Chain A
Amino acid sequence: MYRFIGRRFFFAVLTILAVSAVVFAIFSVLPFDPASLTCGQRCTPQIIEGNRIKLGFDKPIYEQYWLFLSGIFVGRTYGSGQAAFSCPAPAFGYSFNENACVTEMIKESLPVTLNLAIGALVIWLFIGISLGVIAAKFKSRWPDTTGSVFVLLGTSLPTFVTGLALLIWVSIKWKIVPMSLDGYVSVLDSPGRWFMYFILPWITLAIAYAALYTRFTRAAVLDTLGEDYIRTARAKGVKERTVLFKHTLRAVLAPIITLAGLDFAGLIGGAIITETIFNLPGLARLTLRSVYEFDLPVVLATTILAAVVVIVMNLIVDMLYAVLDPRVRM
């Protein structure tokens, strides 16, 4: 078991290194001069050259990569003497557009995205698994057909439709949830405002995923109910409720958790539409803004971060799977 985890961990680190190298390489062959993007309209070649040296763009690419990597562990100082400024470890670069260390910018937006993703995950798992089990239990009867309407709507309505609809009706017309104008609040500071801030984005994301999970759970439960070991349980005289909630659900749980882990990882860098509609200052918004503004250090950092999250979630899912499925244990 420990060897299994150790091996997976080693390969995860290796993959992260490879991903960061590839992303770094892609950004250094892009046909812009990153140094020329660092100052506004009143640019002179002198300023550009100065910034180039300050940010290290004058060095060969492998050295730039090394500086980037080492910056993550020991921090990084740009320029020298009076004009020097430094980003403490872990430093992922410096954004000239915002005049801030990239790490600081990520630190501000990551909690928003995490709150969004975790809340949505909890809601969609609860709804998806419940509806899926109910639909399977009452296959071809009204709970199942009603459920399939929900699945169809949830999977076919894009988030910009559900999100806007929620925003227009629930927030603007009916005024049930106030439009948040004062920005992100932590759950620790004010649970009520935090809940109101996130509830509509959560529902927006959760509807789409809950529909998928309803379909997945329904199919998995139906599959499992047809398994020989379910027939064995019934032949023992086990109650039908126990057959469903113990024997069947236990078998269905492992693949659902795998799926949930990967979908969750995808949301960390990818809830662009939801974050935009609800004006959430999250990671996806940060990435989007940086892409528009050619703020390359930020794009580089968020891209690598998104990849790292996917790799780490994969690792966690694999370990969870080993816990859930005794056949995988070594």
Chain B
Amino acid sequence: MSELLRINDLRVAFPTDDGLVRAVDGVSLSVSSGETVAIVGESGSGKTVTSLSVMGLHKKGSAQMSGSISVAHDGGFLDVISASEEEIRSMRGRSVAMIFQDPMSALHPYYKIGAQLAEAYLVHNPGKKKEAISRAIEMLDLVGISEPAQRAKEFPHQFSGGMRQRVMIAMALMNSPKMLIADEPTTALDVTVQAQILTLLASLQKEFNMGILLITHDLGVVAQVSEKVNVMYAGRIVEQGGVDDIFYNPMHPYNLGLLKSVPRISATGSERLKAIPGQPPSLISLPAGCAFAPRCEYIKFADSNACATQMPALVGTSASHTSRCHIDESKRQASFSDAMKEVR
């Protein structure tokens, strides 16, 4: 297992008329070949901003970035934050490819599927048009599109949503990237199609030993495909751990809140969904301490003064499972136990 991506203390802020929006505030994570690392969080938690940072896709001048993002590229590592536009461009789609949330709008409506796929190859292998086209058909076949040569001549609107996401995946595979960033790849799809796409991603990962960074807000998707999970809240990682740790031994009240809010089939009809009370904070004026403190149901188990004034460090019982919370480990087990019974 070789490391493909290492993000260290990434901070991304966007200046606006109302103030500085701190979208990502000190995120560190890594992805190695063959593993799937998930970033979970609600809208505005910074997960998509993190993934776009890796691709260097923030608009020039609009984002203030610090920290480091090292991407395995051409046998070495490329630091996306300090690299030139030209270096980043040669990395995009070749070392790291990306698929997006809405396959309906992610494909150009005026160009044929085959041409769009071929372009992904031609950008990095100029002039090899024949190769690009045959590869496009090969990739369409690989992602399970029947009669690929025929369908390559069709336009995106002639494909269904699930098929378009397959096309997006085929496009991502055009240059055999070592790493794939999947930004909410199943959010816009029907549940049955979701399962097909996830299965496809998993089998392709196995075949090419790709590292996948999966961005999602769907805990079901996380449980199904990922090995490592990062839970984000208000631009920070609040809990980081293996998938079993995150689901069966949550350390952060926010993660516990997410687990509790998942609807259960066993629930009686009159039971209400258990939403986390309150709203996420504004990213312009984050609280000085823990960003989750104003919504935290378990604040009574911690030193509430510390919660309000000090940002907790990302620490844990082991290096592989950490969280940002002031609740003492000894109190946590007891205070979470009732809720955990419910979750199971």
Contact mask A220-244 → B, CB, 8 Å, 1/0? Answer: 0000000111011111111110000
Does B320 sit within 8 A of A, measured CB to CB? no
Choose, from B12-20, B76-84, B86-94, B305-313, the stretch at the interface: B86-94
Closest chain B residue to A325 by CB distance? B110
Does A322 sit within 8 A of B, measured CB to CB? no
Asked whether A229 lies within 8 Å of B57 as measured between CB atoms, the reply is no
Does A247 sit within 8 A of B, measured CB to CB? yes
Asked whether A251 lies within 8 Å of B124 as measured between CB atoms, the reply is no
Does B100 sit within 8 A of A, measured CB to CB? yes
Contacts of B119 in A (CB 8 A): 233, 236, 238
- Residue A231 contacts which of B106, B123, B157 (CB distance < 8 angstroms)? B106
In the assembled complex, the Cα of A325 lies from the Cα of B106 at a distance in Å of 17
In the assembled complex, the Cα of A71 lies from the Cα of B97 at a distance in Å of 68
Asked whether A232 lies within 8 Å of B100 as measured between CB atoms, the reply is yes
Asked whether B93 lies within 8 Å of A235 as measured between CB atoms, the reply is yes
**Interface size grouping (class) on chain B:** 20 to 34
In the assembled complex, the Cα of A235 lies from the Cα of B175 at a distance in Å of 12
Asked whether A227 lies within 8 Å of B93 as measured between CB atoms, the reply is no
Contact mask A249-286 → B, CB, 8 Å, 1/0? Answer: 01100100000000000000000000000000000000
Asked whether A229 lies within 8 Å of B123 as measured between CB atoms, the reply is no
Does A60 sit within 8 A of B, measured CB to CB? no
Closest chain A residue to B124 by CB distance? A237
Asked whether A229 lies within 8 Å of B92 as measured between CB atoms, the reply is no
Does B264 sit within 8 A of A, measured CB to CB? no
- Residue B171 contacts which of A227, A236, A239, A250 (CB distance < 8 angstroms)? A236
In the assembled complex, the Cα of A235 lies from the Cα of B90 at a distance in Å of 10
Known: A228-B102, A228-B105, A327-B155. A235 touches B110 (CB 8 A): no
Closest chain B residue to A248 by CB distance? B108
Asked whether A327 lies within 8 Å of B157 as measured between CB atoms, the reply is yes
Closest chain B residue to A254 by CB distance? B110
Q: For residue B130, give the distance in angstroms from its CB to the closest CB of chain A.
A: 19
Q: At the interface, is chain B mostly helix, strand, loop or mixed?
A: loop
Q: At the interface, is chain A mostly helix, strand, loop or mixed?
A: helix
CB proximity to A under 8 Å, residues B40-91? 55, 57, 85, 89-91
Does B98 sit within 8 A of A, measured CB to CB? yes
Known: A237-B123, A237-B124, A238-B119. A232 touches B157 (CB 8 A): no
Known: A236-B92, A236-B123, A237-B123. A229 touches B106 (CB 8 A): yes
Does A324 sit within 8 A of B, measured CB to CB? yes
Does A326 sit within 8 A of B, measured CB to CB? yes
Asked whether A236 lies within 8 Å of B120 as measured between CB atoms, the reply is yes
Contacts of A327 in B (CB 8 A): 109, 155, 157
- Residue B92 contacts which of A227, A234, A254 (CB distance < 8 angstroms)? A234
Q: For residue A109, give the distance in angstroms from its CB to the closest CB of chain B.
A: 40
Does B237 sit within 8 A of A, measured CB to CB? no
Does B107 sit within 8 A of A, measured CB to CB? yes
In the assembled complex, the Cα of A276 lies from the Cα of B89 at a distance in Å of 56
In the assembled complex, the Cα of A330 lies from the Cα of B123 at a distance in Å of 32
Closest chain B residue to A326 by CB distance? B155
Contacts of A237 in B (CB 8 A): 89-94, 120, 123-124
In the assembled complex, the Cα of A247 lies from the Cα of B116 at a distance in Å of 10
Q: For residue B5, give the distance in angstroms from its CB to the closest CB of chain A.
A: 15
Asked whether B57 lies within 8 Å of A231 as measured between CB atoms, the reply is yes
Q: For residue B154, give the distance in angstroms from its CB to the closest CB of chain A.
A: 9
In the assembled complex, the Cα of A234 lies from the Cα of B108 at a distance in Å of 12
The 10 tightest CB contacts between A and B, nearest first, are A237-B92, A228-B105, A237-B93, A236-B93, A326-B155, A229-B108, A236-B120, A235-B98, A228-B106, A237-B123
Query: Can you name 11 A-B residue pairings with CB atoms under 8 Å?
Result: A227-B105, A233-B119, A235-B57, A235-B93, A236-B97, A236-B119, A237-B91, A237-B123, A238-B123, A325-B109, A327-B109
